[in-house]
Structure 1
Amino acid sequence: MFFDLGAGEILGLAIVGMLLLGPERLPKAAAEAAKWVKKVRTLSQTATAELRENLGPGFENLQPADLHPKTFVKKQLGDLLDETPATKPKRPTAKIDPDLI
């Protein structure tokens, strides 16, 4: 699920909702919450599609999780830490332009 809730947590939330709202208002509140979640999901999908479109080629597989700073840093550090000395690319040697001397 979205928030990684199990059956016990959902049952507990339903019981708390029943106590707070009562059995008369709970179905209406659940329907309103579902509409709100659908609006937020649609908004996020639209924003992601617009972002992909505006960034141009190379970002077709962009996922919202890729934009999270923690994920970005882990990915970048993971790439650096995975390099072993044998697979590490050689540093390019500096070449001096003879016209500059």
Structure 2
Amino acid sequence: MFDFGAGEVLGLVVLALILVGPERMPRVAGDLAKMIRKVRSMTNTATAEIRENLGPGFEDLTPSDLNPKTFIRKHVASVLDEEDERDGKGKSGESAFKPQIDPDLL
């Protein structure tokens, strides 16, 4: 998620040590850890509520599924699969219909 290297982390620690001071650093680190735990708890609760409100069939929903590009790709793929099944081709066969979809639009 975050692309931090060892150098960046070390730089942030040194900066925090300078700004906060060595005396207050343990307390600030503890407060930061509590805040991170609280944010994680809130996001887990919100995710659980969203899954509960969506109902059955959405248990495996991920945030990337809500991306419009992903939604369109899945919908187009399902429509093409349905057309192949109607034609009796299945997933392994080549369909006579070759979709001309510009990948930049997806």
Question: What range is the shorter-chain TM-score in?
Answer: 0.5 to 0.7
Which structure has the bigger radius of gyration?
1
Between Structure 1 and Structure 2, which shows a larger proportion of helix residues?
1
Higher RCO (CA 8 Å, separation ≥ 6 residues): 2
Runs of 5+ consecutive residues of structure 2 not aligned to the other structure: 81-94, 100-106
Partner residue in 1 for 2:71? 76
Alignment map for 1:16-55 (pairs within 5 Å): 16-55=15-54
Instruction: Say whether 1:86 aligns with 2:97.
Output: yes
Q: Structure 2 vs 1, CA of residues 44 and 85 (structure 1 numbering), >3 Å: closer, same or farther?
A: farther
Partner residue in 2 for 1:4? 3
Identity, % of aligned pairs?
Answer: 49
Q: Structure 2 vs 1, CA of residues 66 and 24 (structure 1 numbering), >3 Å: closer, same or farther?
A: farther
Q: Structure 2 vs 1, CA of residues 64 and 75 (structure 1 numbering), >3 Å: closer, same or farther?
A: closer
Runs of 5+ consecutive residues of structure 1 not aligned to the other structure: 89-101
Give the CA deviation at 1:86: 2.1
Match of 1:43, SS? Answer: helix
Q: Structure 2 vs 1, CA of residues 16 and 85 (structure 1 numbering), >3 Å: closer, same or farther?
A: farther
Give, in whole Å, the separation in 1 of the partners of 2:60 and 2:47.
11
Give, in whole Å, the separation in 1 of the partners of 2:55 and 2:45.
16
Give the CA deviation at 1:77: 4.3
